A and B are shown apart, each in its own frame.
Chain A
Amino acid sequence: QVQLVQSGAEVKKPGASVKVSCKASGYTFTSYGISWVRQAPGQGLEWMGWISAYNGNTNYAQKLQGRVTMTTDTSTSTAYMELRSLRSDDTAVYYCARAVAVAGAEADYWGQGTLVTVSS
């Protein structure tokens, strides 16, 4: 069965960086992309970007350009999302999801979420 298992909760200070991992299993990792979506406390969903697990191509949300980097390690079927220069409004639950296509909003399996708290 398809599973996406994310790394544990993080607490970071403003200005620091965080790197969240997402280990995939149950499918051919390189046949899909991975989207990252975040949700601030009590708020809605925000798309952060997408990475192809096949060739590493990325597409980031304009709002996060320059602060976010998404990568994959095909040897371990793991995707990573690094967010730099953290601010308090980056406090959110971060989700990875299996993305069916590059220019599409379909994400058919989701990780359990990783809470990132940014606080001094």
Chain B
Amino acid sequence: QSVLTQPPSASGTPGQRVTISCSGSSSNIGSNYVYWYQQLPGTAPKLLIYSNNQRPSGVPDRFSGSKSGTSASLAISGLRSEDEADYYCAAWDDSLSGVVFGGGTKLTVL
């Protein structure tokens, strides 16, 4: 059971906009930055969003992050086949004094 809660799956057709939610608590999302990672099949995770809504260099602006209270969301617009991957949210947890991850959301591009 993950500390952060994500839907196990999401899907969309090419060109669509999809959102992935991440729910936490006051000790993690509510008081710390949220990060999003993309993991393509068979590869290491890649940092997609940092500090709630910032994109590292090279990440397309089709990807955006937001946070409100104890929840966060990742939005992907103009969905492409290469976006098919697992997506994880993460945050520092003050109570656990460690990093917590969501269980991951498998995105399928139909």
Contacts and interface: CB of A to CB of B under 8 A. Distances in A.
Interface of A: 35, 37, 44-47, 49-50, 59, 61-62, 95, 97, 103-108, 110-113
A54 B48 CA distance: 26
Nearest to B28: A105
B88 A45 contact: yes
5 contacts: A103-B92, A104-B33, A105-B100, A107-B37, A108-B56
B2 interface: yes
Given A103-B92, A105-B91, A106-B50, A45 B44 contact: no
Interface residues of B, number: 27
Given A45-B45, A106-B33, A110-B44, 16 more contacts: A44-B2, A45-B88, A46-B101, A47-B90, A47-B99, A50-B99, A62-B96, A97-B45, A103-B92, A104-B33, A105-B32, A105-B92, A105-B99, A105-B100, A108-B47, A112-B44
Nearest to B101: A45
Say whether chain A's binding surface is mostly helix, strand, loop, or mixed.
strand
